[in-house]
Amino acid sequence: MATRHFLTLLDLSSDELSYLIRRAISIKNGLKTQGPTYTPFSNRTLAMIFEKSSTRTRVSFETAMAQFGGHALFLSSRDTQLGRGEPIEDTARVLSEMVDAVMIRTFSHQGLEAFAAASSVPVINALTDDYHPCQLLADVMTWTELRGHIRGKTAVWIGDGNNMCHSWINAARQFDFQLRVCCPEGYEPRQDILAAAGERVSILHDPQQAVEDADLVTTDVWASMGQEEEQAKRAADFSGFQVTEAMLDRAAKDVLFLHCLPAHRGEEISTTLLDDPRAVVWQEAGNRLHAQKALLEFLLLGRIES
């Protein structure tokens, strides 16, 4: 089987992504009823390269490999020659000789693409400054578990036009739903990513208007990793963009609220929003494990008929 990478949602077809969602739900249900008895990754190793810190990403990938009978190696720039100037491509070629797949959480998406181009084993984007596709697998999985197909629904992104927003735009393309991106002026997503989505995505600047009758509302922190020095300015610019219970009241009666976490209570969300029954963020976080199991299985073994 030819090596496949997962750098953005566009690396898989819509049919393959829908399969991953179904498969992730099946794996999750099997784990609940049978325990971790399915172990297809005996003697398989995943290298996990972290240049950005994480809780959910590390725990979910490491647990996925362990429950599947494999092993995960945690590598940071301090632990590898990447931190001493070894070319990205050389590290990719070396790891390809030793491990079965590589997961990278880093800053530069171009660097990730260079790594994948030189790698002969699957490379997974666990977050770059431009995209966070693994999170979207968990997000769509959560919606599907609770509400069924997302096709034709209306989702609203409130906040910065950042890597999560870019992946939501790609998700609208691949899963065929409408996305309203609501952000302050000057914080819009990249124009090329937006243009490629066509009429599936619209830009708004009024959160109250954006959430009207929406099926799903989601947000992220106002200052991502590496933007901490902009925190005060962003807090002022995003005034009025905090997602609250009252804002959700303007959405559809069965609206769901998602957040990729960590959340800054009292900033992008009200202090009590995560306690609202419409917020399903803990299930969403837990689904990172199952969605990434399905992804790893697909990249290493291909489709498995449930």
**Residue ranges of the binding site:** 54-57, 81, 105, 132-135, 163, 220, 224-225, 260-261, 288
CB contact at 8 A, 171 and 9: yes
Q: For helices 133-147 and 281-301, give the axis angle rounded to 10 degrees.
A: 110
Alpha carbon distance 104, 127 (integer Å): 7
The one catalytic residue among 23, 109, 130, 135: 135
List the structure tokens of 144. 């599907």
Catalytic: 231? Answer: no
Instruction: For residues 201 and 198, give the distance between their C-alpha atoms in angstroms, rounded to a whole number.
Output: 6
Nearest residue to 52 via CA among 132, 171, 139: 132
Contact 12, 291 (CB under 8 A): no
**Which residues make up each annotated binding site for carbamoyl phosphate?**
54-57, 81, 105, 132-135, 260-261, 288
Residue 260 known to be catalytic: yes
H and E: helices and strands count for the chain = 11, 9
Binding-site residue set for L-ornithine: 163, 220, 224-225
User: Is 135 annotated in the active site?
Assistant: yes
Q: Which of 5, 23, 44, 105 is catalytic?
A: 105
Catalytically annotated residue among 220, 234, 259, 292: 220
The token pair at 261 is: 């976490």
Q: Interior CA angle at 162 toward 255 and 181, to 5°?
A: 40
Q: Rounded to whole angstroms, what are the CA distances from 183 to 187, 209, 231, 301?
A: 6, 12, 16, 40
122 backbone dihedrals φ, ψ, rounded to 5°: -60, 140
Type of residue found at 204: L
Question: d(Cα 117, Cα 96) in Å, to the nearest integer?
Answer: 12
Mark whether 5 is an active-site residue: no
**Is 78 among the residues known to form the active site?**
no
The catalytic position among 166, 288, 290, 292 is: 288
Catalytic residue check, 288: yes
Report d(CA 141, CA 190) in Å as an integer.
26
Q: Which of 44, 182, 260, 290 is labelled catalytic? A: 260
Among 132, 173, 259, 290, the one annotated catalytic = 132
Active site residues: 105, 132, 135, 220, 260, 288
